[in-house]
């Protein structure tokens, strides 16, 4: 596989900045002991906004290869938007990635498709990479429209992007019924969705952009199911919630991902 695998932990609203710092230190130690090759598998953490500066200081001071990013972003660049954080502010903190359109943001905050498109644009304009979350609910799967739905969400966001912008996108296929439920998608389900998303990018842009696009799977990933999932040809890594709160478990998943994707 030519695409660099990415293991990204979404901490959601967990860990204060002291806990976050300790976690990153411990993760770095565990992976150093395991001789983890960051040049063959990227590892990223998405803490709350309040931990970003502490993580930046630690990563820079210890020259760590762990990347980090944010869980959402404002669509505006500055001004009277109480509580918002702009893309430029995140870029200044050394963020590489920003999660956009996570199902919990779509559910608990007014993040509709238009807002999500604007977030993607804001992230790209600030020189970071959006991790766009898409995926069907149980109801859409029951109706048999799951692929149409997930691909439709990708279409809505990519419609007005240039090829250059689309090339910076990362898509996370996160079926809503699998997020935080313990019900992981089968490898076939993850592969079918990832393949359909890649096919759409191929038809909307080019072979090259489709082949380079990284598509993550997210939804109850653990060290018990990671190996089979990453064995799928169109699955390029993971967006991980619950299991990313356990440092040993996250290190195990990262090692399994690296091992599976560098075989042969």
Q: Which residues does the annotation mark as catalytic?
A: 102, 174
Nearest to 116 by CA among 104, 129, 133, 128: 133
Q: What tokens were used for 157?
A: 């966001």
Considering the complex, state which of residue 58 and residue 169 has its C-beta at the smaller distance from ligand PEP: 169
Stretch that binds ligand PEP, among 76-84, 163-171, 185-193, 239-247 (CB under 6 A): 239-247
3-class SS of residue 93: coil
Tell whether residue 69 is a contact of ligand PEP (CB under 6 A).
no
How far apart are the C-alpha atoms of 264 and 138, rounded to whole Å?
37
3-class SS of residue 134: strand
How far apart are the C-alpha atoms of 158 and 100, rounded to whole Å?
13
Question: According to the annotation, is 180 in a ligand binding site?
Answer: yes
Sign, Cα dihedral of 178, 180, 182, 186: positive
Q: From residue 74 to residue 93, what is the string marking binding to ligand PEP with x (rule CB under 6 A)?
A: --------------------
Angstrom distances, CA of residue 124 to CA of 58, 61, 88, 151: 25, 27, 10, 21
Considering the complex, state which of residue 191 and residue 209 has its C-beta at the smaller distance from ligand PEP: 191
Question: According to the annotation, is 11 in a ligand binding site?
Answer: yes
Residues in region 181-220 near ligand PEP by CB under 6 A: 218-220
Q: How far is the CB of 69 from ligand PEP (least distance, A)?
A: 13
**Rounded (5°) CA angle 185-191-107:** 50
Question: From the list 5, 6, 10, 122, which residue makes contact with ligand PEP (rule: CB under 6 A)?
Answer: 10
Longest dimension (CA), the chain: 54
Q: How far is the CB of 241 from ligand PEP (least distance, A)?
A: 2
Q: How far is the CB of 214 from ligand PEP (least distance, A)?
A: 15
Tell whether residue 7 is a contact of ligand PEP (CB under 6 A).
no
Angstrom distances, CA of residue 121 to CA of 97, 158, 162: 13, 10, 11
Tell whether residue 9 is a contact of ligand PEP (CB under 6 A).
no
Considering the complex, state which of residue 98 and residue 243 has its C-beta at the smaller distance from ligand PEP: 243
Tell whether residue 174 is a contact of ligand PEP (CB under 6 A).
yes
Angstrom distances, CA of residue 126 to CA of 79, 107, 210: 17, 26, 23
Question: From the list 116, 240, 251, 253, which residue makes contact with ligand PEP (rule: CB under 6 A)?
Answer: 240
Question: According to the annotation, is 10 in a ligand binding site?
Answer: yes
3-class SS of residue 68: strand
Tell whether residue 179 is a contact of ligand PEP (CB under 6 A).
yes
Q: From the annotation, which residues make up the binding site for substrate?
A: 10-12, 180, 220, 241-242
Binding site for ligand PEP (CB under 6 A): 10, 174, 179-180, 218-221, 239-243
């Amino acid at each position: 596989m030519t695409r660099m695998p990415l293991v990204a932990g979404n901490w959601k609203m967990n860990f204060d900045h002291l806990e976050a710092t300790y976690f990153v230190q411990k993760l770095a130690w565990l992976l150093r002991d395991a001789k983890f090759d960051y040049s063959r598998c990227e590892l990223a953490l998405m803490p709350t906004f309040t931990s970003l500066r502490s993580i930046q200081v630690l990563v820079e001071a210890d020259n760590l290869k762990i990347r980090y990013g944010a869980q959402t972003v404002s669509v505006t660049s500055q001004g009277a938007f109480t509580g918002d954080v702009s893309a430029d502010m995140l870029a200044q903190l050394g963020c590489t990635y920003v999660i956009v359109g996570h199902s919990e943001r779509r559910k608990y905050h007014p993040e509709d498709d238009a807002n999500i498109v604007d977030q993607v644009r804001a992230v790209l304009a600030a020189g970071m990479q959006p991790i766009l979350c898409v995926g069907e609910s149980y109801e859409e799967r029951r109706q048999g429209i799951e692929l149409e739905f997930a691909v439709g969400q990708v279409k809505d966001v990519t419609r007005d992007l240039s090829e250059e912008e689309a090339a910076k996108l990362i898509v996370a296929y996160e079926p809503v019924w699998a997020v935080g439920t313990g019900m992981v998608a089968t490898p076939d389900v993850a592969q079918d969705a990832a393949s359909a998303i890649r096919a759409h990018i191929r038809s909307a842009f080019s072979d090259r952009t489709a082949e380079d696009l990284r598509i993550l799977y997210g939804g109850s990933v653990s060290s018990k199911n990671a190996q089979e999932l990453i064995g799928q040809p169109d699955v390029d890594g993971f967006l991980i919630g619950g299991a990313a709160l356990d440092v040993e478990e996250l290190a195990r998943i990262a090692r399994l991902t690296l091992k599976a994707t560098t075989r042969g």
